[in-house]
Structure 1
Amino acid sequence: MGFDGLFFGRVDLQDYAERNITKQMEMIWKGSSNLGEESWLFTGIIPRTYTPPESFCFDAFCDDEPIKDDPQLHDYNVLERVQAFINAAHDQAAGYATNHIMMTMGSDFQYENANQWYKNLDKLIRYVNAQQVNGSGVNIFYSTPTCYLYALNKVNRTWTTKTDDFFPVSLNPHGILTGYFTSRPALKRYERYSNNILQVTRQLNAFSNITLRTAIFPLSEAMGIAQHHDAVSGTEKQHVANDYAQR
């Protein structure tokens, strides 16, 4: 498929619970019976959607306490924070088949004050890793999905497989995310019809001797906005849907 792996956080509540117990949070997804092995994709489910462990959000909009590493402070908290993070790492690792885990740090609209984040992350890395001399088996560092996949490949493990999809998704016993499949059908049709026009226009422009790309930009930009997951899904309020359609 051209991808080395896929990671996502939204999965059905019961599916998540079962996979977490059986250490099957990562797998080979055989999504198509027709395309064969070329379509197989390593897939990982990220805990907490993509947010940090509880009490470790260091963003300016979060209320979690920073790491206070001056021993003269009355609220010095390094030992407590370090142990809490090590516990969180062990809790997360319990659902995965190797000794590598991806610990996401951040969320929507965060890192506007990146210095505050990285200042605390630097401290967290330093003090957590320092506990290895005391017998801790936790080693944390800045990484990327590519590096994470590389480490998993080196394990040379045979992964479990999945052949169906991940729908429907429920976040609680009475909260199933299915309404957006059919909500606001007029907006969905408008978006699809407009995209047909955009793609035909792009092809005609490519075959012509005159470059009119700038004339296509307004529709292309409007389509980019309308295809946002809070737009074409129909989960927005009516006046917001009207604004998308107007564009």
Structure 2
Amino acid sequence: MIWKASANLDRQSWLFAGILPYGYGSPFTFCYDSQCSDPPIMDDKNLKDYNVPGRVLAFIAEAYALSKIYATNHLIMTMGGDFQDKNAHEKFKNLDKLIHYVNLEQNNGSDINVFYSTPSCYLYALNKAGKTWTTKSDDFFPYAMVPASYWTGYYTSRPA
């Protein structure tokens, strides 16, 4: 969606807006931070807890489920969370493995291509898709986390 944030500033105030299904956290069962209990990618076939096929199928299933709520075939899966990355090496080691093994499935007909990206690269791909986006010109606030718990006054998109 394109949010037309100001009636006075025209295009210079337009913002692309979207909703991330997990906030900015990792998809369920794919958090590789030390504070998470999700299983790491175990890719040594000699170990009894070898889990690459199951982890790959779960990730591909998640990608297909998410594709139903996205407007293009470009998906963004954030892999973070508040106060995470205390052991970034472990996290990225697991993400590297996940990306590698998911992309290997292209040899078996998968149409999923996973890679590290940035918000600007994602928006560039969305722009190239040539989609006409819905627009919104009113406000998003007040913000509520739960019923009767508003952040009114804390956040505003149109200060007085």
State the TM-score, normalizing by the size of structure 2. Answer: 0.89
Using the TM superposition, give the Cα deviation of residue 129 of structure 1 relative to its aligned residue in structure 2, in angstroms.
Answer: 0.5
Q: Let me know the Cα RMSD of the aligned residues.
A: 1.7
CA contact (8 A) 2:6 2:13 kept: yes
Pair 1:110-2:84 in alignment: yes
Pair 1:40-2:11 in alignment: no
Bigger CA radius of gyration: 1
Query: Separation in 2 of the partners of 1:101 and 1:61?
Result: 26
> 2:44 aligns to what?
70
Q: Which residue, 47, 50, 65 being the options, matches 1:91?
A: 65
Please give the per-residue CA displacement for 1:23-62, whole angstroms capped at 9, x wherever unaligned: xxxx111122222222112222222110011011000111
Map 1:1-247; keep pairs closer than 5 Å: 27-172=1-146, 175-178=147-150, 180-181=151-152
Percent of pairs identical after alignment? 57
State the TM-score, normalizing by the size of structure 1. Answer: 0.59
Amino acid at match of 1:102: I
Query: Separation in 1 of the partners of 2:96 and 2:15?
Result: 33
CA contact (8 A) 1:169 1:176 kept: no
Using the TM superposition, give the Cα deviation of residue 181 of structure 1 relative to its aligned residue in structure 2, in angstroms.
Answer: 2.8
Query: Separation in 2 of the partners of 1:89 and 1:170?
Result: 28
Please give the per-residue CA displacement for 1:191-234, whole angstroms capped at 9, x wherever unaligned: xxxxxxxxxxxxxxxxxxxxxxxxxxxxxxxxxxxxxxxxx78x
Q: SS at the partner of 1:41?
A: strand
The verdict on how the C-alpha distance between 1:49 and 1:176 changes in structure 2, with shifts beyond 3 A counting, is farther
| Corresponding residue pairs, total | 155
- The higher relative CO (CA closer than 8 Å, separation ≥ 6) is in 2
Query: Separation in 2 of the partners of 1:102 and 1:177?
Result: 29
Specify every segment of 5 or more residues in structure 2 that has no aligned partner in the other structure, as ranges.
156-160
**Higher helix residue share:** 1
Specify every segment of 5 or more residues in structure 1 that has no aligned partner in the other structure, as ranges.
1-26, 183-231, 234-247
